[in-house]
């Protein structure tokens, strides 16, 4: 059974974080929202596996502050 | 020129029942001569079950209405004897374009799966479909089959009695009464039968309005399906352009719920919009304009004793995906053989309960698909619009996003997983043809598997010999054996997979009842008994 990775897995955590924030430089709120949506969709397609995607959706929900 | 839908096809004629003194009893009465009621009558009449169809009108439906007929519908119409007429007249299309805002984001070619007699779908005005069904009824009448089509007969009263329903019918010559052992209400979305019996159309999921226009183009225009999301001429809504026969193009403009229908329909409001849509310089005539309002919902129960609802009277969905008329034909397909066996005493009345189970599930599936399409087309929240727009923006550059673009998922027949009529499954055979599945066509011996099936239970032996005709539980069971070279690649992939041989028990509506890897008559008889609803017998 496929499982999601929640241990450190990014090769370059600092660099990725900086790139992610920098990608939004100069974007309006609407443009940022649209950018995020495109990014999520691209990443989802990269993952592909429906079970993994479902688990990721749930995990993001579980870790919200309200939960 | 008189348009087809203006000519009276089954005008009122006085019938013997009207002067009979007391109400005449009929085994089956169908209310409504829409596509569903007409198909129902044909299915029963072909099996020599006497049937009377009552309709308050005398013409086929006005305007194109349902225009997209799916492969399964064509297969059902083949069984009912008018598939060829539909396909001959209909338009087959595979190419289309998707627009977002003021630009085209991509075009597509559907490349349908090979090895099926019928195309994935055809476009045809609903009035042609109804015309062919009426012509088929006329041909059955000439052949002496017990079917009557009574135009100008409006059902105005219904009363359920113990084992029958009493009907009051209004004609231009006054009212008369009838009795029906079984009443099939195919009287459309507004179903007066539902109202007269005090039944509700529950669970409204959503509602919408569409401006529907049939236009005749004066010059060439491509045979493609064009779909617009949020176009400049219909902001925040969708638009669809589709080819029909006779040079008629169908346009659907989504309008939303809070609109003034009469205002929207006025040519002075419609024509400028269509010009914007088709581009200046495209000359057209407006043949028909209407506003189609629907609510996405279904009856809680499709059957109330011996009163059965089928088609739009039982369930209604949005036009995205063409699930209206297509699912109605599947209702008929499911109901026909069950009624025939019950009326001829070959199956217990409890068999009919499986209609509720199977077709209510199918309606839920259609409502789910229809809801998903609508949520994509008309996003309900800010975030869902952000994602929708992101999918469309990405679809311009990347193939991966295109399967997420949802402008309606075309009607495919329901698989009756978990149906009480399903018998055993054998491991190692393809999932696509598991018990409960609709049939999957394949070429066999220069013809088609579905054409070889007929109207009765059937055994399909693949690499295992089955008798061409046998009798089981008092029913004729036809057999088709195919082996060696006769099993082509399509048939193998669809029915055998990796397995060397298999036996399938097929229902009269061609759905798979059960399947095995070897021939075992005790098993087959048991599965047939289950498929006849005899398990529920006390
Ligand atoms: C304007 C319009 C546009 C549509 N567009 C689409 C589309 O684009 N795509 C799509 O898939 N579907 C569309 N539909 C829906 C499609 O037409 C229906 O799904 C289909 O017709 C259902 O068939 P039916 O036989 O169940 O009902 P209907 O075709 O509605 O037939 C019901 C019949 O019952 C008769 N009747 C009603 N009351 C009585 C009575 N009291 N006594 C006797 N007879 C009675 C009526 O005269 C009618 O002939 C559209 C419908 C309309 C109205």
pLDDT at B483 over 70: yes
- pLDDT tens readout for residues B44-70: 999 999 999 999 999 988 888 999 999
Q: What is the pLDDT of residue B538?
A: 40
Q: Which of B12, B59, B65 to mutate to test the pocket of ligand 1 (most atoms within 8 A of CB)?
A: B65
Question: Can you tell me which residue has the tokens 């699930």?
Answer: B323
Residue B159 — pLDDT band, cuts 50, 70, 90? very high
Buried b (16+ CB within 10 A) or exposed e, A21-58: eeeeeeeeeeeebbebbbeebeebbeeeeeeeeebbee
* Cβ of B33 below 6 Å from ligand 1: yes
Asked if the ipTM is above 0.85, the reply is: yes
- pLDDT range class, residue B256, cuts 50, 70, 90: confident
d(Cα B252, Cα A51) in Å, to the nearest integer? 37
B286 and B304 in a common domain: no
| pLDDT tens digits along B335-350 | 999 999 999 999 999 9
- Put simply, whether the predicted model's pTM sits higher than 0.90 gets the answer yes
> Residue B194: inside a domain, yes or no?
yes
CB B44 within 8 A of CB B51: yes
Whether B129 contacts chain A with CB within 8 A: no
State whether residue B497 is helix, strand or coil.
coil
User: E strands of B186-257, at which residues?
Assistant: 201-217, 225-229, 238-243, 248-254
| Mean pLDDT of all residues in B481-496 | 96
3-state helix, strand, coil in chain B (%, to 5): 35, 30, 40
Tell how far CA B31 is from the center of its chain. 17
Six token digits for residue B251:
């346009």
Strand partners, B228: B99, B239
Does one domain contain both B435 and B359? no
Nearest to B400 among A33, A40, A45 (CB): A45
- Which range of residues forms the domain containing residue B146? 16-92+120-200+297-365
Report residue B282's pLDDT band, with 50, 70 and 90 as the boundaries: confident
C-alpha distances (whole Å) from B90 to each of B122, B352, B490 are: 5, 34, 26
Contacts 24+ apart (CB under 8 A), B346-352: B346/B474, B346/B475, B346/B532, B347/B532, B347/B533, B347/B534, B348/B532, B348/B533, B348/B534, B348/B536, B348/B537, B350/B533, B350/B536, B350/B537, B351/B532, B351/B533, B352/B303, B352/B308, B352/B533
DSSP assignment, residue B69? E
B chain contacts of residue A34, beta-carbon cutoff 8 Å: 386, 389-390, 393
Q: Domain check: are B305 and B282 in the same one?
A: no
Do B311 and B273 belong together in one domain?
Answer: no
pLDDT of residue B460: 98
- CA B526 centroid distance within chain: 31
- Together in a domain, B342 and B196: yes
Name, in order, each residue with C-beta under 8 angstroms of B390's C-beta and a sequence gap of 6 or more: A34, A37, A38, A40, A41
Residue of B132 and A66 predicted with greater confidence: B132
pLDDT band at B410 (very low <50, low <70, confident <90, very high): confident
pLDDT digits (tens, 9 = 90+) for B216-230: 988 788 888 999 999
Give the total number of structural domains in chain B. 3
Of all residues in chain A, the one with the smallest CA distance to B387 is: A37
Using one digit for the tens of pLDDT, what is the confidence trace for B365-407?
Answer: 999 998 899 889 989 899 999 999 999 999 999 999 999 999 9
- Confidence label for B1 from pLDDT (cuts 50, 70 and 90): very low
Does residue B396 sit at the A interface (CB-CB below 8 Å)? no
Considering only CB atoms, which chain A residues are within 8 Å of B390? 34, 37-38, 40-41
Q: Bridge partners of B216?
A: B248, B285
How far apart are the C-alpha atoms of B279 and B232, rounded to whole Å?
12
DSSP B347: S
Give yes or no: residues B128 and B247 share one domain: no
B502: domain CATH number? 3.40.30.120
Residue of B nearest to A33 (CA): B386
Q: Tell me the shortest Cα–Cα distance from A15 to chain B, in angstroms.
A: 25
User: Residue B236: left (phi > 0), alpha (psi -120 to 50), or beta?
Assistant: left
Asked if B241 and B355 sit in the same domain, the reply is no
Residue B48 sits in a domain whose CATH number is 3.50.50.60
State the pLDDT at residue B64. 86
Cα of B126 to ligand 1 centre, how many Å?
Answer: 9
- Spatial contact of B333 and B76, defined as CB atoms under 8 Å apart: yes
Question: Residue A1: is its pLDDT beyond 70?
Answer: no
- Length reported for chain A: 67
Least confident piece of the model among A34-38, B184-188, B409-413, B428-432: B409-413
Chain length of chain B: 538
Residue B57 has a CB neighbour count (10 Å cut-off) of 18
Q: What angle do CA A35, B409, B379 make, to 5 degrees?
A: 40
Task: Determine contact, residues B358/B419, Cβ cutoff 8 Å.
Answer: yes
DSSP state of B448: E
B390 in contact with chain A, both atoms CB, cutoff 8 A: yes
Structural domain ending residue among the three candidates B365, B398, B414: B365
Q: Which residue of B has its CA nearest to A32?
A: B386
CA B166-B167-B172 angle, 5° bins:
155
Which residue in chain A has the smallest CA separation from B388? A37
Q: Does A67 touch chain B (CB under 8 A)?
A: no
B358: closest CA of chain A, how far (Å): 28
The pLDDT of residue B205 is 66
Residues B452-467 have pLDDT tens digits of: 998 999 999 999 999 9
Q: Do residue B455 and residue B514 come from a single domain? A: yes
pLDDT, tens only, A4-55: 999 999 999 999 999 999 999 999 999 999 999 999 999 999 999 999 999 9
Looking at the fold, whether B145 and B186 belong to one and the same domain comes out as yes
Which of B334, B224, B314, B213 has its CA nearest to residue B272?
Answer: B213
Cβ count near B58 (within 10 Å)? 18
The minimum-distance atom of ligand 1 relative to the CA of B189 is: 30
Q: How far is the CA of B65 from the centre of ligand 1 (A)?
A: 8
Evaluate whether residue B6 is within a structural domain: no
Mean pLDDT of chain B: 93
In terms of domains, do B495 and B468 share one? yes
Residues from chain A that touch B383, judged by Cβ atoms under 8 A, are 33
Shared domain for B241 and B348, answered yes or no, is no
Asked if B21 and B129 sit in the same domain, the reply is yes
Question: What percent of chain B clears pLDDT 90, i.e. is strictly above it?
Answer: 79
Identify the residue whose tokens are 């009929």. Answer: B26
Q: For residue A37, which residues of chain B lie inside 8 Å, CB to CB?
A: 386-387, 389-390
């Amino acid at each position: 059974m496929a499982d999601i990775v929640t241990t450190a897995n990014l090769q370059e955590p600092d660099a990725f974080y900086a790139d992610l924030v920098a990608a939004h430089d100069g974007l309006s709120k609407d443009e940022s929202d649209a950018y995020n949506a495109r990014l999520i969709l691209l990443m989802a397609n990269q993952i592909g596996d429906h079970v993994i995607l479902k688990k990721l959706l749930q995990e993001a929900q579980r870790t919200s502050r309200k939960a | 020129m008189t348009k087809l839908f203006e000519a009276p096809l089954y005008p009122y004629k006085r019938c013997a029942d009207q002067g009979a003194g007391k109400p005449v009893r009929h085994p089956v009465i169908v209310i409504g001569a829409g596509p569903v009621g007409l198909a129902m009558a044909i299915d029963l009449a072909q099996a020599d079950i006497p049937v009377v169809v009552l309709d308050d009108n005398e013409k086929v439906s006005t305007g194109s209405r349902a225009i997209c007929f799916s492969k399964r519908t064509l297969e059902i119409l083949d069984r009912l004897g008018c598939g060829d007429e539909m396909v001959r007249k209909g338009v087959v299309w595979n190419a289309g374009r998707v627009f977002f805002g003021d630009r085209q984001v991509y075009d597509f070619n559907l490349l349908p799966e090979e090895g099926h007699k019928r195309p994935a779908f055809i476009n045809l005005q609903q009035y042609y479909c109804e015309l062919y069904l009426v012509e088929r009824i006329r041909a059955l009448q000439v052949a002496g089959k017990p079917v009557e089509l009574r135009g100008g007969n409006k059902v105005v009263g219904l009363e359920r009695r113990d084992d029958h329903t009493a009907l009051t019918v209004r004609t231009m010559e006054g009212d008369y009464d009838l009795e029906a052992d079984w009443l099939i209400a195919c009287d459309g979305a507004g179903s007066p039968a539902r109202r007269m019996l005090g039944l509700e159309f529950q669970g409204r999921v959503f509602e919408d309005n569409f401006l529907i226009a049939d236009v005749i183009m004066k010059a060439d225009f491509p045979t493609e399906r064009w779909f617009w999301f949020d176009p400049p001429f219909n902001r925040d809504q969708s638009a669809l352009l589709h080819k029909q026969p006779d040079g008629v193009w169908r346009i659907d403009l989504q309008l939303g719920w809070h609109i003034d229908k009469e205002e929207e329909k006025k040519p002075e409001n419609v024509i400028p919009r269509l010009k914007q849509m088709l581009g200046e310089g495209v000359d057209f005539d407006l043949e028909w304009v209407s506003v189609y309002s629907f609510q996405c919902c279904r009856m809680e129960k499709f059957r109330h004793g011996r009163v059965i609802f089928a088609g739009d009277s039982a369930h209604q969905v949005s036009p995205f995906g063409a699930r209206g008329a297509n699912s109605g034909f599947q209702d008929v397909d499911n109901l026909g053989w069950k009624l025939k066996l019950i009326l001829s005493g070959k199956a217990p009345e409890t068999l009919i309960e499986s209609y509720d189970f199977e077709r209510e599930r199918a309606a839920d599936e259609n409502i789910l698909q229809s809801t998903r399409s609508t949520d994509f087309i008309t996003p309900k929240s800010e975030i869902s619009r952000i994602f929708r727009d992101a999918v469309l923006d990405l679809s311009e550059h990347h193939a991966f996003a295109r399967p997420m673009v949802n402008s309606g998922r075309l009607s495919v027949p329901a698989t009756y997983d978990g149906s009480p009529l399903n018998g055993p499954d054998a491991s190692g055979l393809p999932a696509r043809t598991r018990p409960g599945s609709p049939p999957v066509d394949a070429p066999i011996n220069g013809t088609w598997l579905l054409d070889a099936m007929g109207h009765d239970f059937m055994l399909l032996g693949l690499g295992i010999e089955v008798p061409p005709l046998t009798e089981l539980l008092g029913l004729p069971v036809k057999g088709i054996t195919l082996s060696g070279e006769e099993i082509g690649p399509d048939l193998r992939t669809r029915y055998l997979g990796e397995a060397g041989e298999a036996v399938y028990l097929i229902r009269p509506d061609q759905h798979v009842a059960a399947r095995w890897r070897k021939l075992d008559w005790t098993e087959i008889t048991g599965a047939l008994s289950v498929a006849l609803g005899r398990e529920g017998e006390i």
